[in-house]
Amino acid sequence: MNTNHLSAWEQEEYILDERTPQMLRHLTECAECRAAVARLEDGLGVYRKAAVQWSAESLASRPQQVITARKQPVVSLRWAMAAVIPLVLLLIALLPFRTSNPRPVQQTAQIRDDSRDDALLDQVDEQISAAVPSSMESLTHLVSTRDSAAAKGSKHLVQSN
């Protein structure tokens, strides 16, 4: 009988299904190693049983949830975004035209007003600088006569002095 017992590592290797012929031969011959391996296997078996039972009980108390319900809004949201984005881009593209269109109209109106004002001022200038009306011409003569008389008078004064 082989008295070299399986090491802890070898027992674990056996449990992990990494079994060599020497291991198997030893286990058929050695009751002590067989008991040690069986004890570890039993402990793992009980753990598995308890874990499966606990999980099953916990899951049974929870309602089955439908997952497909969450995918539909994502798809429709994508379509909505696809429809909205071109509209927004179109609005952005049209915005400068809307603001720039009234500007030339205002400018031309202002130019028209300015030219009208200029024409009016020209007319006023013409009227001011125009010759005195014929009905008032005698008055201008009077003024010019007096002016000439004053000029003559001053001449006399200079001569008398």
Partner 1 sequence: MEALEQFNYPGELSPLRDRMIAELEDVNTLCATYRSRIYRYALLSLKDPDLAETVTQDCFLKAFKARKDFRGDCSIATWLTRIATNLIRDCTRSRKFQFWKTAGSTALEAGDIADRLRSPGISPENSLVVREELVKVWDAVDALPDKQRSVFVLRFVEEMELPEIATAMGLHVGTIKSHLHRGLAAVRKAMEKTR
> Which parts of this chain interact with partner 1 (CB under 8 A)?
8-9, 11-12, 15-16, 18, 39-40, 42-44, 46-59, 62, 64-68, 70-71
Q: Which of 78, 101, 80, 98 is nearest to 90 (CA)?
A: 98
Q: For residue 69, give Cα distances in angstroms to 63, 64, 72, 103, 111.
A: 15, 13, 6, 54, 66
Rounded least distance, CB 65 to partner 1, Å? 6
Q: Tell me how far apart the alpha carbons of residues 74 and 77 are, in angstroms, rounded to a whole number.
A: 5
Nearer to partner 1, 19 or 141 (CB): 19
Q: Which amino acid appears at position 81 of this protein?
A: M
Q: Which is nearer to partner 1, 11 or 30 (CB)?
A: 11
- Looking at beta carbons only, is 76 or 159 nearer to partner 1? 76
Min CB(105)–partner 1 separation in Å: 56
Query: Closest distance between partner 1 and the C-beta of residue 77, in Å?
Result: 14
Maximum distance among all Cα pairs of the chain, rounded to whole angstroms: 177
